[in-house]
Amino acid sequence: MALHHAKPGEVVDLQPLGSKLKETKSAAIIKSDHFEAIRLIVRAGSEIPAHEVSGNITLHCLEGRVEIGLGDSTIELKANEWVYLDGGESHSVKGIEDSSLLLTILLE
């Protein structure tokens, strides 16, 4: 079965997953030539190693807590908080708690 991507005008439910968070995997919501949105699931204790994305990105923490590594510094992002990162900026994501985030990427 093909992965479902939202169509223009389609409403997508981004409410916290609550008890379903443990069984949910990351999933693309939309990918076009210029924009990508992903519901990113980060488990407590897991880490997405430092990497770079060419386009500007935003991370909106829907539930849980994560630590964003930015070179020599880190920031904590918790439920209902949002952060913007410039494209090409090295960053990592570490789960402090099981977390669900909305990741958006502006593609060039």
Predicted TM-score of the model (pTM): 0.90
Q: What is the separation, in whole angstroms, between the first and last Cα of the chain? A: 29
Enumerate residue ranges in the chain where pLDDT < 50: 1
Using only C-alpha atoms, the chain has a radius of gyration, in whole angstroms, of 14
**The predicted structure's pLDDT at residue 4:** 72
Task: Confirm whether 16 is domain-assigned.
Answer: no
**The predicted structure's pLDDT at residue 48:** 96
**Domain at 85, CATH number:** 2.60.120.10
Q: In which residue are the tokens 């069984």 written?
A: 23
- The CA distance from 101 to 26, in Å, is 9
Name the domain count of the chain.
Answer: 1
Torsion of CA 39, 18, 62, 6, to 10 degrees: 30
Task: Confirm whether 100 is domain-assigned.
Answer: yes
